[in-house]
Amino acid sequence: MADSGALALKGIRVLDFTWIHAGPSATRILSDQGAQVIKVESNQALAVVGGPASNTARGLGQRHNWNAGKSSISLNMKTEAGKELARRLVSVSDVVAENFSGRVMPSWGLNYESIRRIRPDIIMLSMSGFGRTGPWKDRVSYGQTLQAWSGFTDLTGFPDTRPSGPASAYSDAVGGMAGAQAVLLALIQRAHTGRGQWIDVSQMESMSTLLGPLALELSVNKNDVQRTGNRQPHGGGAPHGAYRCQGDDRWLAITVFNSEDWGAFVLALGSPSWALEPRFATAESRLEHADELDKLVEGWTLEQNAEEAMHLLQSAGVAAGVVQTGKDMAENDPHLREREIFQQVPDAAGVLRTIERAPYKLSRTPGEVTNGAPEFGADQDLVLREILGVDDEELAEMAIAGTFD
């Protein structure tokens, strides 16, 4: 039974220097569970997707999705006054998060060794493309390049096509989850020992770990796995792929692995004569004739509505799923609607913004998001006056010294 308002990270404060996608998505996970996340922002990043402002609907939507529930202050980190205020905020924080290149935080005097002198039990999350050590630690990277370096892009696509990779910066999402997970582990360790630590997250390695079995295949069996499209790289079953259906660009994914799956699939289709041919009698022979089988299966799906065919096969116990578009998921999926994966929250102007909720449900500490991303610098007074105890005179001195951006 959920405790109304129960939040697993209530009382934890995060000083968030992150930007773009990977870092903000990590701290958003912490914010959802009650951590007070203070987002340190700069006018220098106003044009960045997901940054303090954007002149595109996509950028604005991403900002709200990754920064919902956070507070925002502006600091001019080019001034000594701005750096000094950042150090004061470190002293009252539990976690410092950043995803810059390795040169930025040290240039501000905010590397781990420096901030642990301010607060010995501080936890610092550093998220970079390649990690803080190794020959590639200073290389420039974005999502698509990291996916390529990790081996992910090479395995995405069909055998006779060029590497394609996912449509979005998948490495940012994976890296963000890895970063949040690491912070939670560090908080548990600190609760036991009273000691903080530095977390070094490599987004490339976060992606590469997803391909671990393929690396083992190469090292043990000397088998360099190649692109296989929708086929399993090590045999698997047939049919196994995405098949065109009625309508414009409508597809149905179908997976049949064993004889039981095949029997249910054939019965669901009404036992067509081709399905009873000897070439499709065993799993091995179906794999051998997979190209021919795919054509026959698509001959059936082309006459079907994708959703209706999915329900027909699922009712028979066959793994089948519509290849959904973003519109399908946001507007037409009854399962996602019932589980409330998408939530509308108001922004500072009262406009409702659609954001994603966490893909897990905790029975006792479900977490919550009550508002969209903050306006740039919207929480300056809250942070300075209530958290740091700054009075009017000191606030005026800070402004004169160029503390704020």
DSSP β-bridge partners for residue 71: 38
Name, in order, each residue with C-beta under 8 angstroms of 405's C-beta and a sequence gap of 6 or more: 41, 42, 43, 44, 74, 75, 76, 77, 82, 377
Give the other-Cβ count within 10 Å of 18's Cβ: 27
Give the pLDDT confidence of 58-80 residue by residue, as tens digits: 556 778 888 999 999 999 999 99
Q: Is 376 exposed, middle or buried (0-12, 13-18, 19+ CB in 10 A)?
A: buried
Q: Is 330 exposed, middle or buried (0-12, 13-18, 19+ CB in 10 A)?
A: middle
* pLDDT of amino acid 179: 97
Give the residue-averaged pLDDT of 303-316.
Answer: 98
Give the residue-averaged pLDDT of 24-37.
Answer: 96
Give the pLDDT confidence of 91-106 residue by residue, as tens digits: 999 999 999 988 899 9
Measured distance CA(22)–CA(67) in Å, rounded: 11
Which residue out of 16, 94, 154, 172 is catalytically annotated?
172
* pLDDT of amino acid 5: 59
* pLDDT of amino acid 129: 92
Give the residue-averaged pLDDT of 173-188.
Answer: 96
Q: What percent of the chain has pLDDT over 70?
A: 91
Q: Is the pLDDT of residue 46 over 70?
A: no
Give the pLDDT confidence of 336-369 residue by residue, as tens digits: 999 999 999 998 888 888 899 999 999 999 998 8
Q: What percent of the chain has pLDDT over 90?
A: 64
Give 152's pLDDT tier (boundaries 50, 70, 90). confident
Average pLDDT value over all residues in the chain: 89
Give the residue-averaged pLDDT of 125-144.
Answer: 91
Give the pLDDT confidence of 227-282 residue by residue, as tens digits: 777 877 666 789 999 999 999 999 999 999 999 999 999 999 999 999 999 999 99
Give the pLDDT confidence of 364-386 residue by residue, as tens digits: 999 988 888 888 889 999 999 99
* Structural domains of the chain ordered from first start: 13-210+338-400 (3.40.50.10540), 251-322 (3.30.1540.10)
* pLDDT of amino acid 338: 94
Quote the pTM value: 0.89
Give 225's pLDDT tier (boundaries 50, 70, 90). confident
Residue 340 tokens, joined? 């409330």
Name, in order, each residue with C-beta under 8 angstroms of 398's C-beta and a sequence gap of 6 or more: 81, 85, 384, 390, 404
* pLDDT of amino acid 216: 67
392 a catalytic residue: no
Asked if 237 and 255 count as a contact pair (C-beta separation under 8 A), the reply is yes
**DSSP 3-state assignment of 74?**
strand
* pLDDT of amino acid 49: 46
- The conformational region for residue 3 under phi > 0 = left, psi -120 to 50 = alpha, else beta, is beta
* pLDDT of amino acid 52: 47
Q: Is the pLDDT of residue 51 over 60?
A: no
Q: What are phi and psi of 61, to 5 degrees?
A: -65, -40
Measured distance CA(97)–CA(14) in Å, rounded: 7
Q: Is the pLDDT of residue 193 over 70?
A: yes
Q: Is the pLDDT of residue 168 over 80?
A: no
* pLDDT of amino acid 287: 92
Give the other-Cβ count within 10 Å of 322's Cβ: 21
* pLDDT of amino acid 53: 47
